[in-house]
């Protein structure tokens, strides 16, 4: 299990003190480094949030929850599948039952190559539909059930992980289309729920060194880690990949009261990659 690394940028604080957060996709796939969802769950907890760690793999969710509890913070693991609406409803209900509120929903779901994504002329219906069910439909229905609670509270924050692939260059059709959909949906969500005191924003990660991104490409292309990372770093003006902590820190800001006048934005976390379109 990965608890921290040299890039986590953590200092003690309580920016989410007393808040209840649901982080969907807070486990992570096998591989090197820390995933975006696990990093976000840990950052939220370190800032005082009580975190429901949600993943379709309960063992992975429990690993994250254990890391949080080992640091002295409050977390519980919960199993849900973003392609099954009822499990998403159950997750939101569990957070409110356990801690009395639902203050933050962080949707960290996404699949591309691992789901069989490809060029337009090679994609088939089954793979396209599966990727869209995970990347877009899963977020929509998680938000549906969170918003029901947040409207009753007259408060809440939603942070959706989209991707720089939405507005930027990306060669595979289903991921790009679905993540662009997340951006549009989040804007609608923000506009339609502002009167209830609910904020909604999206994060657009670029080339982040997560197990899902790097290890999947290594396995697909039978490449070394060094080759995959060098190819990705060459595309980033800041000359490094991001980490899960970079994305988690952005999520923390948007979830906190420091961003209380920010809603409907799409925040790029990409090291300037979108500026380099060649």
Structural domains in the chain (count): 1
Helix H or strand E encompassing 248: helix 244-255
Q: What is the pLDDT of residue 99?
A: 98
Asked, for residue 108, whether it belongs to a domain, the answer is yes
The pTM of this model reads 0.92
Asked, for residue 6, whether it belongs to a domain, the answer is no
> Is pLDDT of 5 > 60?
no
Asked, for residue 10, whether it belongs to a domain, the answer is no
- Whichever domain contains 190, its CATH number is 3.40.50.720
What integer is the mean pLDDT of 210-229?
70
Q: What is the pLDDT of residue 97?
A: 98
Asked, for residue 104, whether it belongs to a domain, the answer is yes
**Nearest in space to 132 (alpha carbons), one of 83, 169, 165, 203:** 83
Q: What is the pLDDT of residue 219?
A: 62
Query: Taking a C-beta distance cutoff of 8 angstroms, is the pair 211, 28 a contact?
Result: yes
Q: What is the pLDDT of residue 218?
A: 65
Q: What is the pLDDT of residue 85?
A: 98
Query: Taking a C-beta distance cutoff of 8 angstroms, is the pair 115, 132 a contact?
Result: no
175 is catalytic: yes
Catalytic residue among 170, 172, 175, 196, which?
Answer: 175
Asked, for residue 120, whether it belongs to a domain, the answer is yes
Question: Could you read off the pLDDT of 243-269 as tens digits, one per residue?
Answer: 999 999 999 999 999 999 999 999 999
Residue 141, domain extent: 20-209+243-268
Give the start-end residues of each E strand in 11-137: 20-24, 50-55, 75-79, 104-107
Rounded-to-integer distance, Cα 186 and Cα 162, Å: 9
Helix H or strand E encompassing 67: helix 58-70
pLDDT band, residue 234 (cuts 50/70/90): confident
> Is pLDDT of 277 > 90?
no
Asked, for residue 226, whether it belongs to a domain, the answer is no
Q: What is the pLDDT of residue 114?
A: 85
Helix H or strand E encompassing 127: helix 125-132
Asked, for residue 217, whether it belongs to a domain, the answer is no
Planar angle of CA 115, 219, 211, nearest 5 degrees = 75
Of 115-119, 168-172, 225-229, 238-242, least confident by mean pLDDT is: 225-229
> Is pLDDT of 6 > 50?
no
What integer is the mean pLDDT of 89-107?
98
Asked, for residue 225, whether it belongs to a domain, the answer is no
């Amino acid at each position: 299990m990965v608890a921290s690394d040299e890039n986590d940028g953590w200092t003690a604080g309580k920016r989410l003190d007393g808040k209840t957060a649901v982080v969907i996709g807070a486990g992570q796939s096998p591989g090197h480094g820390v995933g975006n969802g696990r990093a976000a769950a840990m950052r939220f907890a370190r800032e005082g949030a009580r975190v429901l760690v949600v993943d379709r793999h309960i063992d992975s969710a429990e690993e994250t929850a254990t890391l949080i509890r080992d640091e002295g913070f409050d977390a519980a693991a919960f199993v849900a599948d973003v392609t099954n609406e009822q499990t998403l409803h159950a997750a939101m209900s569990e957070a409110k039952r356990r801690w009395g509120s639902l203050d933050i929903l962080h949707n960290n779901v996404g699949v591309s190559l691992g789901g069989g994504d490809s060029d337009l002329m090679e994609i088939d219906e089954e793979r396209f539909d599966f990727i869209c069910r995970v990347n877009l439909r899963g977020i929509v229905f998680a938000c549906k059930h969170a918003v029901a609670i947040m409207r009753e509270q007259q408060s809440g924050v939603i942070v959706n992980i989209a991707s720089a692939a939405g507005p930027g260059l990306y060669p595979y059709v289903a991921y790009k289309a679905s993540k662009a959909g997340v951006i549009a949906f989040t804007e609608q969500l923000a506009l339609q729920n502002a009167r209830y005191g609910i904020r909604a924003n999206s994060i657009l990660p670029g080339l982040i060194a997560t197990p899902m991104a790097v290890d999947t490409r290594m396995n697909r292309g039978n490449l070394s880690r060094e080759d995959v990372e060098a190819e990705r770093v060459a595309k980033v003006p800041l000359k490094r990949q991001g980490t899960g902590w970079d994305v988690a820190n952005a999520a923390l800001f948007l979830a906190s009261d420091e961003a209380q006048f920010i809603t409907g934005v799409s925040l790029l976390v990409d090291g300037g990659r979108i500026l380099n379109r060649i």
